[in-house]
Amino acid sequence: MPYKQINDLPDSVKNNLPKHAQEIFQAAFNNAEEEYGEEERAFRVAWSAVKRDYEKGDDGHWHKKPEDITQYSSDKAEN
């Protein structure tokens, strides 16, 4: 079942992830569930999408990963 609103997300997502990470989770879950039709697979895809931009810190909270400055610098050098 797709999540129409952030408030519809499971408590494990709402109570632990920052708002932007929740939005990533919602979009990834909905797309994966529509594509694959499997809730379990959609959850795996959604968590993978969140972990691409966020990481769980030593404090137990999820934090946005710092941007990769080296990638940005090499992209600028090529242009």
**Alpha-carbon span 79 to 74, nearest angstrom:** 9
Residue 53: inside a domain? yes
Helix 39-53 × helix 19-36 angle, to 10°: 140
Domain of 71 in residue numbering reads as 6-78
Residue 1: inside a domain? no
pLDDT in tens, 11-39: 999 999 999 999 999 999 999 999 999 99
**CATH of residue 23:** 1.10.1740.70
pLDDT grade, residue 79 (50/70/90)?
Answer: low
Residue 74: inside a domain? yes
pTM, to two decimals? 0.82
The tally of domains found in the chain comes to 1
Residue 61: inside a domain? yes
